[in-house]
Amino acid sequence: MTIQQQAPSATLKVGVVGIGWAGQQHLKAYSNIEGVEIVAVAGMEEHLLAQMTAEYGIPHAFARWEDLIQLEGLDAVSVAVPTFLHAPISIAALERGLHVLSEKPLARNGKEGKEMVDAARKAGRVLDVAFNHRRRGDIQALKQVIDDGTLGRPYYAKASWLRRQGIPMLGSWFTNPELAGGGPLADIGVHVLDYALHLLGEPKVLAVSASTHSELGPRGLGGNARYTATSSSHKFEVEDFASAFIRLEGGGTLILEAGWASYRDARDLIDFTVYGTDGGAELRAVGASENPVAEVRIFADKDGKNADFEVVAEPGRAHQAVVDDFIAAVRGGETVWGIHDGSLALTRALVLDACYKSALEQREVVL
């Protein structure tokens, strides 16, 4: 298909595919940006589609994403749908000459992810992925401390996102590997991997040794009162807990944990611990879904004495920051578009592939 040429316009016209929680975050964020007009939305839920169309004054509503990306004058599209649809929708949109912001993970696997990146490069368009947790205010504050050299050279880190009863829609597409690509490792673990590598300065991953467990989900446990495995359309066929030992270039180590369900504290935990040659740090967001700011402690010595301190951070801007950055990249023009080709998200996808391969074959996998 021939790529449509975009005429310069002061107003960017965007569409959103998917009207669940994530899609609603994209709609809200776009509505807050001056010079951006939401001209189309697509979703299967008729009542919710009508509601979103009315709330944001959107002129075009479609049940089929194929119809949305054919809309003339469209500049960009958000893809906020189940993971198995990320690649086909994104690639079709890029081939139409549209810029694409996809929800995480990039795709079900690295092969699909590479096809998306190749399509972005061929089209000369932006492909970004919604890694909103790296935009947390506490993670940004800790990033500044690390980049300033306060900790010296980081050599060991541990990061996790753990829930007690947090299987999303137990028995839905989330628990089908063909639709989701995996369980908590693919769902929330990709966030942990992203913010951890971001904090560490994007070291190259050399090898992984991972394990996965599926102990509670198959028994209908780990969800909530609304969703149960026995009353839904999909069996529980993914992990409910995963861990990985990740070897980094330069000799560093990252330990990663991601769990939807386990017998632990009832409050979610998002954390990051790092040891460096000159100091250490610990970030802990207990009750992560309710607490937008974590406790961040820095451990250091000065003249042989304890010089520990706490970092005070503001809440991050989550999806608003993601969408702001996407629009800024689109407005940056062709000299910027090539930098935003989805390749960073592809590195995450390839690491997850290696983790699942390692867990399946019970051996270390070299990337």
Angle, helices 343-361 vs 189-199, to 10°: value is: 120
What's the pLDDT score for residue 292? 85
For residue 169, pLDDT over 90 is answered with no
Q: For residue 290, what pLDDT band results from cuts at 50, 70 and 90?
A: confident
Condensed to tens digits (0 to 9), the pLDDT of residues 224-278 reads 654 444 445 668 999 999 999 999 999 999 999 999 999 999 999 999 999 999 9
What gap in Å lies between CA 223 and CA 39, rounded to an integer? 36
Condensed to tens digits (0 to 9), the pLDDT of residues 293-310 reads 999 999 999 998 999 999
Tell me the domains of the chain and their CATH numbers: 12-132+319-340 (3.40.50.720), 137-315 (3.30.360.10)
| pLDDT (mean) for 210-227 | 84
What's the pLDDT score for residue 288? 78
For residue 9, pLDDT over 80 is answered with no
For residue 170, pLDDT over 90 is answered with no
For residue 66, pLDDT over 80 is answered with yes
Percent with pLDDT over 70 in the chain:
94
Condensed to tens digits (0 to 9), the pLDDT of residues 12-43 reads 999 999 999 999 999 999 999 999 999 999 99
| pLDDT (mean) for 164-189 | 91
What's the pLDDT score for residue 135? 95
Condensed to tens digits (0 to 9), the pLDDT of residues 103-162 reads 999 999 999 999 999 999 999 999 999 999 999 999 999 999 999 999 999 999 999 999
What's the pLDDT score for residue 235? 84
What's the pLDDT score for residue 227? 41
Q: For residue 210, what pLDDT band results from cuts at 50, 70 and 90?
A: very high
What's the pLDDT score for residue 54? 98
For residue 75, pLDDT over 50 is answered with yes
For residue 7, pLDDT over 50 is answered with no
Condensed to tens digits (0 to 9), the pLDDT of residues 312-361 reads 999 989 999 999 999 999 999 999 999 999 999 999 999 999 999 999 99
What is the residue-averaged pLDDT of the chain? 93
Q: For residue 172, what pLDDT band results from cuts at 50, 70 and 90?
A: confident
